[in-house]
Structure 1
Amino acid sequence: MPPPAPQIIRVIDLETTGEAPPVHGVCEIGWQDVALGPDGRWEIHGEGGARLVNPGRPIPPLTQTIHHILDEQVADAPFWHDVARAVLDPYPKRVALAAHRSIYEEKFCSPALTRNAPWICTWKCALRLWPDSPTFSNQMLRYWRKPEGLIHERGLPAHRAFPDAYVTAFHLRDMLNAVGIDQLLAWSSLPGLLPRVRQGPDRGKEWSEASDETIATMLEDRDEDVRFTAETERARRRAA
Protein backbone atom coordinates (compact mmCIF):
# COMPACT_ATOMS: atom_id res chain seq x y z
CA MET A 1 0.00 0.00 0.00
CA PRO A 2 1.33 3.47 -0.85
CA PRO A 3 1.79 5.81 2.12
CA PRO A 4 -1.15 8.12 2.80
CA ALA A 5 -0.99 11.54 1.18
CA PRO A 6 0.31 14.15 3.63
CA GLN A 7 -1.59 17.16 4.79
CA ILE A 8 -0.30 20.23 2.97
CA ILE A 9 -0.51 23.99 3.20
CA ARG A 10 -0.05 25.60 -0.20
CA VAL A 11 1.83 28.89 -0.26
CA ILE A 12 0.59 31.18 -3.02
CA ASP A 13 2.09 34.25 -4.65
CA LEU A 14 0.45 36.34 -7.38
CA GLU A 15 1.80 38.83 -9.86
CA THR A 16 -0.95 41.09 -11.17
CA THR A 17 -1.69 44.16 -13.26
CA GLY A 18 -2.67 46.09 -10.12
CA GLU A 19 -4.21 45.82 -6.68
CA ALA A 20 -7.97 46.06 -7.27
CA PRO A 21 -9.90 43.27 -9.00
CA PRO A 22 -11.92 43.15 -11.19
CA VAL A 23 -10.28 46.23 -12.69
CA HIS A 24 -6.94 44.43 -12.42
CA GLY A 25 -6.11 40.82 -13.24
CA VAL A 26 -3.63 38.08 -12.45
CA CYS A 27 -0.70 37.58 -14.82
CA GLU A 28 1.21 34.88 -12.90
CA ILE A 29 0.57 32.49 -10.01
CA GLY A 30 3.27 30.59 -8.15
CA TRP A 31 3.05 27.98 -5.39
CA GLN A 32 5.11 25.91 -3.00
CA ASP A 33 3.72 23.32 -0.60
CA VAL A 34 4.63 22.69 3.03
CA ALA A 35 3.63 19.24 4.32
CA LEU A 36 3.19 17.64 7.73
CA GLY A 37 5.60 14.72 7.99
CA PRO A 38 5.08 11.42 9.85
CA ASP A 39 7.33 12.74 12.63
CA GLY A 40 4.97 15.64 13.26
CA ARG A 41 7.30 18.21 11.70
CA TRP A 42 6.38 20.45 8.78
CA GLU A 43 8.75 20.41 5.80
CA ILE A 44 9.01 21.83 2.27
CA HIS A 45 7.13 19.44 -0.01
CA GLY A 46 7.46 18.94 -3.75
CA GLU A 47 8.91 21.20 -6.40
CA GLY A 48 6.24 23.90 -6.49
CA GLY A 49 5.62 25.72 -9.72
CA ALA A 50 4.28 28.74 -11.56
CA ARG A 51 1.94 29.49 -14.44
CA LEU A 52 1.58 32.58 -16.53
CA VAL A 53 -1.99 33.87 -16.79
CA ASN A 54 -3.61 36.08 -19.40
CA PRO A 55 -4.99 38.98 -17.33
CA GLY A 56 -7.39 39.99 -20.09
CA ARG A 57 -5.99 43.52 -20.25
CA PRO A 58 -2.64 45.23 -20.87
CA ILE A 59 -0.06 45.11 -18.08
CA PRO A 60 0.69 48.70 -16.99
CA PRO A 61 4.32 49.83 -17.10
CA LEU A 62 4.12 50.58 -13.37
CA THR A 63 3.61 46.92 -12.51
CA GLN A 64 5.99 45.71 -15.22
CA THR A 65 8.75 47.55 -13.37
CA ILE A 66 8.10 45.21 -10.42
CA HIS A 67 7.70 41.76 -11.99
CA HIS A 68 8.97 42.40 -15.58
CA ILE A 69 6.22 40.28 -17.18
CA LEU A 70 5.46 41.44 -20.73
CA ASP A 71 2.14 41.49 -22.54
CA GLU A 72 3.49 39.22 -25.27
CA GLN A 73 4.52 36.63 -22.68
CA VAL A 74 0.94 36.19 -21.44
CA ALA A 75 -0.92 36.69 -24.73
CA ASP A 76 -1.37 32.94 -25.29
CA ALA A 77 -1.60 31.96 -21.61
CA PRO A 78 -4.86 30.61 -20.12
CA PHE A 79 -7.23 32.96 -18.33
CA TRP A 80 -7.50 33.09 -14.53
CA HIS A 81 -10.73 31.11 -14.28
CA ASP A 82 -9.07 28.28 -16.23
CA VAL A 83 -6.03 28.17 -13.94
CA ALA A 84 -7.10 29.16 -10.45
CA ARG A 85 -9.12 26.20 -9.12
CA ALA A 86 -6.54 23.55 -9.97
CA VAL A 87 -3.75 25.50 -8.27
CA LEU A 88 -5.69 26.77 -5.27
CA ASP A 89 -7.43 23.49 -4.40
CA PRO A 90 -4.82 20.77 -5.01
CA TYR A 91 -4.69 17.10 -4.13
CA PRO A 92 -3.54 15.74 -1.65
CA LYS A 93 -5.40 17.19 1.29
CA ARG A 94 -4.87 20.92 1.48
CA VAL A 95 -5.69 22.21 4.95
CA ALA A 96 -5.01 25.90 4.30
CA LEU A 97 -3.54 28.44 1.92
CA ALA A 98 -0.81 30.88 2.89
CA ALA A 99 0.76 34.03 1.53
CA HIS A 100 2.93 36.89 2.73
CA ARG A 101 0.39 39.67 3.33
CA SER A 102 -2.36 37.30 2.27
CA ILE A 103 -4.92 40.12 2.11
CA TYR A 104 -3.53 40.84 -1.36
CA GLU A 105 -3.89 37.28 -2.67
CA GLU A 106 -7.31 36.92 -1.07
CA LYS A 107 -8.63 39.76 -3.25
CA PHE A 108 -8.10 37.61 -6.35
CA CYS A 109 -8.50 34.12 -4.83
CA SER A 110 -12.18 34.20 -3.97
CA PRO A 111 -13.82 31.65 -1.62
CA ALA A 112 -15.48 30.10 -4.67
CA LEU A 113 -12.06 29.38 -6.16
CA THR A 114 -10.49 28.17 -2.92
CA ARG A 115 -13.50 26.21 -1.60
CA ASN A 116 -13.49 28.51 1.44
CA ALA A 117 -9.98 27.52 2.50
CA PRO A 118 -8.60 29.35 5.55
CA TRP A 119 -5.58 31.59 4.99
CA ILE A 120 -2.36 32.01 6.95
CA CYS A 121 -0.74 35.43 6.60
CA THR A 122 2.98 34.95 7.17
CA TRP A 123 3.44 38.73 7.50
CA LYS A 124 1.06 38.93 10.47
CA CYS A 125 2.63 35.85 12.03
CA ALA A 126 6.16 37.21 11.56
CA LEU A 127 5.18 40.31 13.55
CA ARG A 128 4.36 38.04 16.48
CA LEU A 129 7.18 35.51 16.19
CA TRP A 130 10.12 37.66 15.06
CA PRO A 131 9.43 41.19 16.37
CA ASP A 132 13.14 42.09 16.32
CA SER A 133 13.36 41.88 12.51
CA PRO A 134 14.33 45.28 11.02
CA THR A 135 11.28 45.10 8.73
CA PHE A 136 8.86 42.34 7.81
CA SER A 137 9.00 42.04 4.04
CA ASN A 138 9.45 38.57 2.57
CA GLN A 139 12.97 39.35 1.41
CA MET A 140 14.09 41.06 4.63
CA LEU A 141 13.00 38.03 6.62
CA ARG A 142 14.85 35.83 4.15
CA TYR A 143 18.20 37.53 4.66
CA TRP A 144 17.69 38.37 8.34
CA ARG A 145 16.64 34.85 9.30
CA LYS A 146 18.57 32.77 6.71
CA PRO A 147 16.16 29.79 6.87
CA GLU A 148 17.83 26.38 6.84
CA GLY A 149 17.70 24.60 3.49
CA LEU A 150 16.67 27.58 1.36
CA ILE A 151 18.47 27.40 -1.99
CA HIS A 152 19.47 30.94 -2.84
CA GLU A 153 19.07 30.64 -6.61
CA ARG A 154 15.58 29.09 -6.41
CA GLY A 155 14.42 32.15 -4.53
CA LEU A 156 15.35 34.46 -7.41
CA PRO A 157 14.37 36.66 -9.08
CA ALA A 158 12.41 38.42 -6.38
CA HIS A 159 8.93 39.65 -7.31
CA ARG A 160 8.18 36.66 -9.50
CA ALA A 161 5.51 34.26 -8.39
CA PHE A 162 7.40 31.01 -7.80
CA PRO A 163 10.55 32.46 -6.19
CA ASP A 164 8.47 34.55 -3.78
CA ALA A 165 6.23 31.59 -2.88
CA TYR A 166 9.33 29.44 -2.37
CA VAL A 167 10.87 31.91 0.08
CA THR A 168 7.58 32.37 1.95
CA ALA A 169 7.28 28.60 2.33
CA PHE A 170 10.45 28.49 4.42
CA HIS A 171 9.11 31.16 6.74
CA LEU A 172 5.85 29.23 7.02
CA ARG A 173 7.64 25.94 7.74
CA ASP A 174 9.51 27.48 10.65
CA MET A 175 6.38 29.19 11.97
CA LEU A 176 4.41 25.94 11.90
CA ASN A 177 7.13 24.06 13.73
CA ALA A 178 7.35 26.83 16.33
CA VAL A 179 3.69 27.32 17.29
CA GLY A 180 1.47 25.09 15.14
CA ILE A 181 -1.24 25.72 12.57
CA ASP A 182 -4.05 26.69 14.97
CA GLN A 183 -2.04 29.57 16.41
CA LEU A 184 -1.05 30.83 12.96
CA LEU A 185 -4.65 30.76 11.79
CA ALA A 186 -5.74 32.64 14.93
CA TRP A 187 -3.14 35.38 14.44
CA SER A 188 -4.00 35.60 10.74
CA SER A 189 -7.67 36.23 11.51
CA LEU A 190 -6.76 39.43 13.42
CA PRO A 191 -5.16 42.67 12.25
CA GLY A 192 -1.38 42.83 12.45
CA LEU A 193 0.14 43.43 15.91
CA LEU A 194 2.96 45.86 15.15
CA PRO A 195 6.09 45.61 17.34
CA ARG A 196 7.16 49.25 16.96
CA VAL A 197 5.50 52.64 16.53
CA ARG A 198 5.62 53.70 12.87
CA GLN A 199 5.30 57.46 13.07
CA GLY A 200 5.10 60.46 15.36
CA PRO A 201 7.32 61.52 18.27
CA ASP A 202 7.64 57.89 19.49
CA ARG A 203 8.53 56.47 16.10
CA GLY A 204 10.76 53.41 16.38
CA LYS A 205 9.92 52.72 20.02
CA GLU A 206 8.25 49.56 21.22
CA TRP A 207 4.58 50.16 21.92
CA SER A 208 5.12 49.56 25.62
CA GLU A 209 7.46 52.58 25.61
CA ALA A 210 5.05 54.91 23.79
CA SER A 211 3.40 57.75 25.66
CA ASP A 212 -0.28 57.73 26.53
CA GLU A 213 -0.69 60.62 24.12
CA THR A 214 0.76 58.54 21.27
CA ILE A 215 -1.55 55.65 22.10
CA ALA A 216 -4.57 57.96 22.10
CA THR A 217 -3.57 59.39 18.73
CA MET A 218 -2.99 55.97 17.17
CA LEU A 219 -6.43 54.80 18.27
CA GLU A 220 -7.81 57.15 15.59
CA ASP A 221 -5.36 56.14 12.85
CA ARG A 222 -6.68 55.15 9.44
CA ASP A 223 -4.57 51.97 9.40
CA GLU A 224 -6.37 48.96 10.89
CA ASP A 225 -3.11 47.41 12.13
CA VAL A 226 -2.09 50.61 13.93
CA ARG A 227 -5.50 50.93 15.60
CA PHE A 228 -5.48 47.29 16.67
CA THR A 229 -1.99 47.56 18.13
CA ALA A 230 -2.88 50.74 20.01
CA GLU A 231 -6.05 49.12 21.38
CA THR A 232 -4.03 46.08 22.49
CA GLU A 233 -1.47 48.25 24.27
CA ARG A 234 -4.19 50.35 25.94
CA ALA A 235 -5.86 47.16 27.20
CA ARG A 236 -2.54 45.90 28.54
CA ARG A 237 -1.97 49.12 30.46
CA ARG A 238 -5.45 49.12 31.93
CA ALA A 239 -5.04 45.50 33.05
CA ALA A 240 -1.68 46.33 34.61
Structure 2
Amino acid sequence: MTARIRVIDLETAGPGPTDVCEIGWQDVVSHAGRWRLGDERGSLLTNPGRPISPDTMAVHHIRDEDVEGAPFWIRAASAVLRPEEGVLALAAHRAAFEQRYCTPRLAGGVEWICTWKCAMRLWPDLPRFSNQMLRYLRRPEGLDHALGLPAHRALPDAYVTAHHLRDMLNLSTPAQLIAWSREPGLLPRVPTGPERGKPWSAVDDAALIGLASDRDQSLRFSAETELQRRGRPGRAAASSARQATLF
Protein backbone atom coordinates (compact mmCIF):
# COMPACT_ATOMS: atom_id res chain seq x y z
CA MET A 1 0.00 0.00 0.00
CA THR A 2 1.36 3.43 -0.93
CA ALA A 3 1.95 5.72 2.04
CA ARG A 4 0.13 8.99 1.52
CA ILE A 5 -0.04 12.31 3.33
CA ARG A 6 -2.67 14.80 2.23
CA VAL A 7 -1.78 18.49 2.38
CA ILE A 8 -4.78 20.68 3.18
CA ASP A 9 -5.38 24.40 2.79
CA LEU A 10 -8.54 26.28 3.72
CA GLU A 11 -10.00 29.65 2.82
CA THR A 12 -12.61 30.89 5.24
CA ALA A 13 -15.28 33.52 5.80
CA GLY A 14 -14.58 33.87 9.52
CA PRO A 15 -13.55 32.07 12.71
CA GLY A 16 -16.68 30.00 13.20
CA PRO A 17 -16.35 26.20 12.96
CA THR A 18 -18.38 26.02 9.73
CA ASP A 19 -17.05 29.22 8.09
CA VAL A 20 -14.99 27.41 5.41
CA CYS A 21 -15.57 28.61 1.85
CA GLU A 22 -12.87 26.58 0.05
CA ILE A 23 -10.72 23.52 0.69
CA GLY A 24 -7.74 22.53 -1.45
CA TRP A 25 -5.63 19.41 -1.25
CA GLN A 26 -2.48 17.92 -2.74
CA ASP A 27 -1.20 14.43 -1.92
CA VAL A 28 2.41 13.55 -1.19
CA VAL A 29 3.20 9.84 -1.60
CA SER A 30 6.07 7.47 -0.91
CA HIS A 31 7.52 5.71 -3.97
CA ALA A 32 10.60 3.48 -4.04
CA GLY A 33 11.79 4.86 -0.73
CA ARG A 34 11.39 8.52 -1.71
CA TRP A 35 8.56 10.96 -1.28
CA ARG A 36 7.09 12.82 -4.25
CA LEU A 37 3.95 14.73 -5.16
CA GLY A 38 1.08 12.43 -6.00
CA ASP A 39 -1.48 12.75 -8.75
CA GLU A 40 -4.36 13.49 -6.38
CA ARG A 41 -5.06 17.19 -5.99
CA GLY A 42 -8.15 19.36 -6.14
CA SER A 43 -10.26 22.07 -4.60
CA LEU A 44 -13.88 22.44 -3.58
CA LEU A 45 -15.91 25.53 -2.80
CA THR A 46 -18.16 25.23 0.25
CA ASN A 47 -20.95 27.42 1.53
CA PRO A 48 -20.10 29.04 4.89
CA GLY A 49 -23.79 29.67 5.53
CA ARG A 50 -23.33 33.40 5.98
CA PRO A 51 -22.14 36.39 3.94
CA ILE A 52 -18.44 36.75 3.21
CA SER A 53 -17.18 40.15 4.32
CA PRO A 54 -15.46 42.54 1.88
CA ASP A 55 -12.31 42.37 4.03
CA THR A 56 -12.21 38.59 3.60
CA MET A 57 -13.06 38.68 -0.10
CA ALA A 58 -10.13 41.06 -0.58
CA VAL A 59 -7.80 38.26 0.61
CA HIS A 60 -9.01 35.24 -1.38
CA HIS A 61 -11.49 36.83 -3.84
CA ILE A 62 -14.18 34.25 -3.15
CA ARG A 63 -17.59 35.95 -3.37
CA ASP A 64 -21.01 35.05 -2.03
CA GLU A 65 -22.20 34.27 -5.56
CA ASP A 66 -19.29 31.84 -5.99
CA VAL A 67 -20.41 29.66 -3.09
CA GLU A 68 -24.16 29.93 -3.64
CA GLY A 69 -25.45 26.38 -4.03
CA ALA A 70 -22.14 24.83 -2.89
CA PRO A 71 -22.29 22.14 -0.20
CA PHE A 72 -21.96 23.16 3.44
CA TRP A 73 -18.59 22.44 5.09
CA ILE A 74 -19.99 19.93 7.53
CA ARG A 75 -21.26 17.80 4.62
CA ALA A 76 -18.28 18.16 2.29
CA ALA A 77 -15.31 17.92 4.63
CA SER A 78 -15.04 14.21 5.36
CA ALA A 79 -14.85 13.13 1.73
CA VAL A 80 -11.67 15.20 1.35
CA LEU A 81 -10.17 14.64 4.80
CA ARG A 82 -10.93 10.91 4.91
CA PRO A 83 -10.48 9.47 1.38
CA GLU A 84 -11.33 5.82 0.89
CA GLU A 85 -7.68 4.90 0.36
CA GLY A 86 -6.75 6.42 3.72
CA VAL A 87 -3.93 8.76 4.69
CA LEU A 88 -0.94 8.42 6.97
CA ALA A 89 -1.46 12.00 8.15
CA LEU A 90 -2.86 15.36 7.14
CA ALA A 91 -0.56 18.35 6.74
CA ALA A 92 -0.83 22.12 6.49
CA HIS A 93 1.32 25.20 6.89
CA ARG A 94 0.55 26.56 10.36
CA ALA A 95 -1.72 23.57 10.77
CA ALA A 96 -3.35 24.92 13.93
CA PHE A 97 -5.51 27.08 11.67
CA GLU A 98 -6.76 24.15 9.58
CA GLN A 99 -7.26 22.03 12.68
CA ARG A 100 -9.77 24.57 14.05
CA TYR A 101 -12.11 23.58 11.20
CA CYS A 102 -10.91 20.04 10.39
CA THR A 103 -11.99 18.64 13.74
CA PRO A 104 -11.16 15.07 14.81
CA ARG A 105 -14.75 14.08 14.06
CA LEU A 106 -14.45 15.29 10.47
CA ALA A 107 -10.84 14.12 9.95
CA GLY A 108 -11.16 10.78 11.73
CA GLY A 109 -8.63 11.59 14.45
CA VAL A 110 -5.68 11.34 12.05
CA GLU A 111 -2.29 12.85 12.96
CA TRP A 112 -1.24 16.25 11.62
CA ILE A 113 2.04 17.66 10.33
CA CYS A 114 2.66 21.40 10.58
CA THR A 115 5.13 22.39 7.87
CA TRP A 116 5.75 25.76 9.57
CA LYS A 117 6.99 24.07 12.75
CA CYS A 118 9.00 21.51 10.81
CA ALA A 119 10.61 24.13 8.57
CA MET A 120 12.05 25.87 11.62
CA ARG A 121 13.52 22.56 12.80
CA LEU A 122 15.02 21.56 9.45
CA TRP A 123 16.05 24.91 7.98
CA PRO A 124 16.67 27.16 11.02
CA ASP A 125 19.09 29.43 9.16
CA LEU A 126 16.37 30.76 6.85
CA PRO A 127 15.24 34.30 7.69
CA ARG A 128 11.47 33.68 7.44
CA PHE A 129 9.13 30.72 7.38
CA SER A 130 5.84 31.68 5.75
CA ASN A 131 4.60 29.35 3.01
CA GLN A 132 5.35 31.81 0.21
CA MET A 133 8.71 32.93 1.63
CA LEU A 134 9.83 29.31 1.81
CA ARG A 135 8.77 28.98 -1.81
CA TYR A 136 11.12 31.73 -2.97
CA LEU A 137 13.91 31.22 -0.44
CA ARG A 138 14.17 27.49 -1.16
CA ARG A 139 12.95 27.24 -4.78
CA PRO A 140 11.77 23.61 -4.38
CA GLU A 141 12.57 21.37 -7.34
CA GLY A 142 9.67 20.76 -9.70
CA LEU A 143 7.40 23.50 -8.40
CA ASP A 144 5.40 24.81 -11.35
CA HIS A 145 5.14 28.56 -10.80
CA ALA A 146 1.73 28.87 -12.48
CA LEU A 147 0.17 25.98 -10.52
CA GLY A 148 1.21 27.75 -7.31
CA LEU A 149 -0.83 30.84 -8.17
CA PRO A 150 -2.83 32.72 -7.16
CA ALA A 151 -1.66 32.80 -3.56
CA HIS A 152 -4.38 32.73 -0.90
CA ARG A 153 -6.45 30.24 -2.82
CA ALA A 154 -6.73 26.76 -1.41
CA LEU A 155 -5.33 24.55 -4.18
CA PRO A 156 -2.32 26.73 -5.14
CA ASP A 157 -1.35 27.13 -1.48
CA ALA A 158 -1.70 23.39 -0.82
CA TYR A 159 0.40 22.69 -3.92
CA VAL A 160 3.20 24.94 -2.68
CA THR A 161 3.06 23.48 0.84
CA ALA A 162 3.27 19.97 -0.61
CA HIS A 163 6.68 20.73 -2.10
CA HIS A 164 7.98 21.80 1.30
CA LEU A 165 6.50 18.67 2.88
CA ARG A 166 8.02 16.40 0.22
CA ASP A 167 11.48 17.79 0.92
CA MET A 168 10.97 17.50 4.68
CA LEU A 169 9.95 13.86 4.38
CA ASN A 170 13.06 13.13 2.31
CA LEU A 171 15.20 14.67 5.06
CA SER A 172 13.36 13.19 8.06
CA THR A 173 10.55 10.74 8.79
CA PRO A 174 6.78 11.08 9.14
CA ALA A 175 7.06 10.10 12.81
CA GLN A 176 9.58 12.85 13.50
CA LEU A 177 7.57 15.50 11.66
CA ILE A 178 4.46 14.48 13.59
CA ALA A 179 6.35 14.66 16.89
CA TRP A 180 7.66 18.16 16.14
CA SER A 181 4.17 19.21 15.08
CA ARG A 182 2.68 18.19 18.43
CA GLU A 183 4.95 20.67 20.22
CA PRO A 184 4.86 24.46 20.00
CA GLY A 185 7.04 26.01 17.32
CA LEU A 186 10.77 26.09 18.13
CA LEU A 187 11.70 29.57 16.91
CA PRO A 188 15.31 29.84 15.68
CA ARG A 189 15.63 33.45 16.84
CA VAL A 190 13.92 35.86 19.20
CA PRO A 191 11.06 37.37 17.16
CA THR A 192 10.28 40.49 19.18
CA GLY A 193 11.40 42.90 21.88
CA PRO A 194 14.88 44.20 22.76
CA GLU A 195 16.47 40.82 21.90
CA ARG A 196 14.79 40.63 18.50
CA GLY A 197 16.82 38.82 15.85
CA LYS A 198 19.27 37.24 18.28
CA PRO A 199 19.82 33.47 18.33
CA TRP A 200 18.72 32.03 21.64
CA SER A 201 22.32 31.20 22.54
CA ALA A 202 23.11 34.95 22.56
CA VAL A 203 20.36 35.86 25.06
CA ASP A 204 21.31 36.09 28.73
CA ASP A 205 19.56 34.05 31.41
CA ALA A 206 17.55 36.94 32.85
CA ALA A 207 16.11 37.86 29.46
CA LEU A 208 15.35 34.21 28.72
CA ILE A 209 13.40 33.82 31.96
CA GLY A 210 11.37 36.88 31.03
CA LEU A 211 10.68 35.54 27.54
CA ALA A 212 9.69 32.19 29.06
CA SER A 213 6.78 34.02 30.68
CA ASP A 214 5.46 35.48 27.42
CA ARG A 215 1.86 34.83 26.40
CA ASP A 216 2.93 33.37 23.02
CA GLN A 217 3.19 29.61 23.29
CA SER A 218 6.01 29.19 20.77
CA LEU A 219 8.03 32.01 22.29
CA ARG A 220 7.71 30.48 25.77
CA PHE A 221 8.63 27.04 24.47
CA SER A 222 11.69 28.33 22.62
CA ALA A 223 12.99 30.26 25.62
CA GLU A 224 12.38 27.33 27.96
CA THR A 225 14.15 24.97 25.55
CA GLU A 226 17.25 27.18 25.66
CA LEU A 227 17.10 27.42 29.46
CA GLN A 228 16.90 23.64 29.67
CA ARG A 229 19.88 23.34 27.31
CA ARG A 230 21.86 25.49 29.74
CA GLY A 231 20.67 23.50 32.75
CA ARG A 232 18.81 26.54 34.08
CA PRO A 233 15.30 26.50 35.64
CA GLY A 234 12.51 27.07 33.15
CA ARG A 235 9.47 29.30 33.57
CA ALA A 236 7.66 27.12 36.09
CA ALA A 237 10.74 26.59 38.22
CA ALA A 238 11.68 30.26 38.04
CA SER A 239 8.15 31.26 39.09
CA SER A 240 8.32 28.94 42.09
CA ALA A 241 11.68 30.39 43.08
CA ARG A 242 10.32 33.97 42.91
CA GLN A 243 7.31 33.00 45.03
CA ALA A 244 9.56 31.39 47.63
CA THR A 245 11.36 34.70 48.17
CA LEU A 246 8.06 36.27 49.28
CA PHE A 247 7.80 34.07 52.39
Would the TM-score normalized by the shorter structure come out above 0.5?
Answer: yes
1:165 corresponds, among 158, 161, 176, to: 158
Extract structure 1 runs of 4+ deviating beyond 4 A: none
State which structure, 1 or 2, has the greater radius of gyration over its C-alpha atoms.
Answer: 2
Question: How far does residue 68 in structure 1 lie from its aligned partner after superposition?
Answer: 0.8
Q: Does 1:11 align with 2:7?
A: yes
Give the whole-Å Cα distance in 2 for the aligned partners of 1:98 and 1:177. 15
1:26 corresponds, among 20, 23, 32, to: 20
Q: Which runs of 5+ in 1 are unaligned?
A: none
Q: Does 1:235 align with 2:228?
A: yes
Give the whole-Å Cα distance in 2 for the aligned partners of 1:81 and 1:98. 20
Q: Please tell me the residue identity of whatever aligns with 2:16.
A: P
Give the whole-Å Cα distance in 2 for the aligned partners of 1:169 and 1:43. 9
Structure 2 residue matching 1:184: 3-state secondary structure: helix
Question: How far does residue 64 in structure 1 lie from its aligned partner after superposition?
Answer: 1.1
Q: 1:51-88: CA deviations, max 9, x gaps?
A: 00000000111211110110110011111122100000
Q: Share of identical aligned residues, percent?
A: 59
Question: How far does residue 187 in structure 1 lie from its aligned partner after superposition?
Answer: 0.1
Q: Does 1:75 align with 2:71?
A: no
Question: How far does residue 156 in structure 1 lie from its aligned partner after superposition?
Answer: 0.1
1:137 corresponds, among 119, 130, 155, to: 130
Q: Which runs of 5+ in 2 are unaligned?
A: 233-247
1:66-145 maps to which residues of 2 (within 5 A)?
A: 66-145=59-138
Give the whole-Å Cα distance in 2 for the aligned partners of 1:115 and 1:10. 13
TM, length-normalised to structure 1: 0.94
TM, length-normalised to structure 2: 0.92
- Would you say the 8 A contact 1:202–1:211 is kept in 2? no
Q: Please tell me the residue identity of whatever aligns with 2:26.
A: Q
Question: How far does residue 47 in structure 1 lie from its aligned partner after superposition?
Answer: 4.2
Q: Give the equivalent residue in structure 1 for 2:238.
A: none
Q: 1:82-119: CA deviations, max 9, x gaps?
A: 21000001132311000000000000001111110000
Structure 1 residue matching 2:231: 3-state secondary structure: helix
Structural RMSD (CA): 1.1
- Would you say the 8 A contact 1:125–1:187 is kept in 2? yes
Q: Give the equivalent residue in structure 2 for 1:176.
A: 169
Q: Give the equivalent residue in structure 2 for 1:41.
A: 34
Q: Give the equivalent residue in structure 2 for 1:152.
A: 145
